[in-house]
Amino acid sequence: MKIASVEVIPYALPFRTPYVTARGRLDNREMVLLRLRADDGMVGLGEAVPLSLRGGTALAQVVGELEALGGRDSLDEATLRSDAIALSPPARCAALTALLDLRGRITSSEIATAPAPSQPVECNATLVAGEPTAVAADALAWAEEGFTSFKLKLGVGDDVGQVRAVREAVGPRARIRVDANAAWDVDAAVRILLELEPFDVELAEQPVANLEEAAEIAGATSIPIAGDESVETQADAERARDLNACALTGIKLSKVGGPEAAIEIAEVLPSYVSSALDGPVGIAAGAQVAQTLDAGSEGEARLAHGLATQRLFASTIASVECELQDGMLHSPAGFGLGVEIDETALQAHRL
């Protein structure tokens, strides 16, 4: 596709309360907004979220990679996914998402009918690590907004106490999943997961550092093991399957390099889409992938997706974005991603 201009805007959104995990603490989330503009003035939006707590690509490098796209007359998906352009996964995700959005918006100018309404996707609540009573209170606040699936960040403090407190607060029918962000070694993981089994935990995401360690613990607990950091490519997913290390995996678009890579992973392992603490563009892209995965799981139990994290932020840069209602994420109406940027808000949060 012929591209007239590329605009790269780093920005940051503040959290309502600090985001605390075994990887560290964040008071705000730094991101990069990408605008691809076609000759006719139509604009596609993409977003890169450098995974700063995970030792990922730095924000400045992502900005540089995306700005370099401005020297090209045209862009297409095959080139962006190839070695012809050296892009980190967050930058590749932003470019591919913006191209997808731009194609969708161009379609809107070529046809007269409105797009079919999309299906909402179920989301889990994301609970920040803390004292058990505080985490339980947070769970109840999410439950009052219609959430019935809860994800606890473990590896910080009283892991078992947090799960016990949340289970007592939300009741026996709620689904609880845990995420240790690779904070445990094998012995600790086995010990803690065995202690958590009485609380009917749906899955344990990335309890240990790598797939070999995950394979060691998978047979020691009845709790299904899910990948995250250890499953970044389709090849990783195949290894996880072959090693019997993971029964399923979470997928972050900025981590794997965009929507197509996410779907390729889901073809190997049952998957749910998680936010990398994305802004409104990343959440909308994640919602579209989640809808695709849900549509392909007809007749099977659907997994809640980790895409409700916009609730964690104190502000936004969007005038139109996905909406959360009763634990379900609804995509904006319209072609492409449907997200519209609030220019005043964007300037206020620009880095």
- The predicted pLDDT at position 112 comes to 60
- The predicted pLDDT at position 299 comes to 66
Distance CA 96, CA 261 (A): 10
**pLDDT band at residue 147, thresholds of 50, 70 and 90?**
very high
The amino acid present at 95, given as its one-letter code, is A
Residue burial 171-202, b: 16+ Cβ < 10 Å; e: rest: eeebbbbbbbbbbbebebbbebbeebeebebb
Compute the average pLDDT of residues 16-22: 88
Pick the CATH number of 5-113+341-349 from 3.40.50.2300, 3.30.390.10, 3.40.710.10, 2.40.370.10: 3.30.390.10
Catalytic residues: 153, 252
pLDDT digits (tens, 9 = 90+) for 208-262: 999 999 999 999 999 999 999 999 999 999 999 999 999 999 999 999 999 999 9
Confidence check: pLDDT of 111 > 90: no
**pLDDT band at residue 297, thresholds of 50, 70 and 90?**
confident
Residue with tokens 């605008």: 35
Least confident of 42-56, 68-82, 303-317: 42-56
pLDDT digits (tens, 9 = 90+) for 154-199: 998 899 999 999 999 999 999 999 999 999 999 999 999 999 999 9
Compute the average pLDDT of residues 74-82: 94
- The predicted pLDDT at position 300 comes to 75
State percent of the chain over pLDDT 70.
97
For the chain, the domains span 5-113+341-349, 121-339
The contacts found for 133-138 with CB under 8 angstroms, 24 or more apart, are 133/165, 135/162, 135/165, 135/166, 136/162, 136/165, 136/166, 136/168, 136/169, 137/169
Under a CB-based contact definition with an 8 Å cutoff, are residues 267 and 296 in contact? no
- The predicted pLDDT at position 54 comes to 66
**Per the CATH hierarchy, to which homologous superfamily does domain 121-339 belong?**
Enolase-like C-terminal domain (3.20.20.120)
Residue with tokens 């006719």: 40
- The predicted pLDDT at position 273 comes to 98
Confidence check: pLDDT of 26 > 80: yes
- The predicted pLDDT at position 116 comes to 73
Distance CA 279, CA 285 (A): 10
Of 83 and 330, which is predicted with more confidence? 330
**pLDDT band at residue 114, thresholds of 50, 70 and 90?**
low
Distance CA 33, CA 339 (A): 12
CB 291: neighbour CB atoms within 10 A?
18
DSSP letters, 128-179, are PP--HHHHHHHHHHHHTTT--EEEEE-SSS-HHHHHHHHHHHH-TTSEEEEE
- The predicted pLDDT at position 315 comes to 98
Chain-wide mean pLDDT for the chain? 95
Helix (H, G, I), strand (E, B), or coil: what is residue 249? Answer: strand
Residue with tokens 């997961």: 193
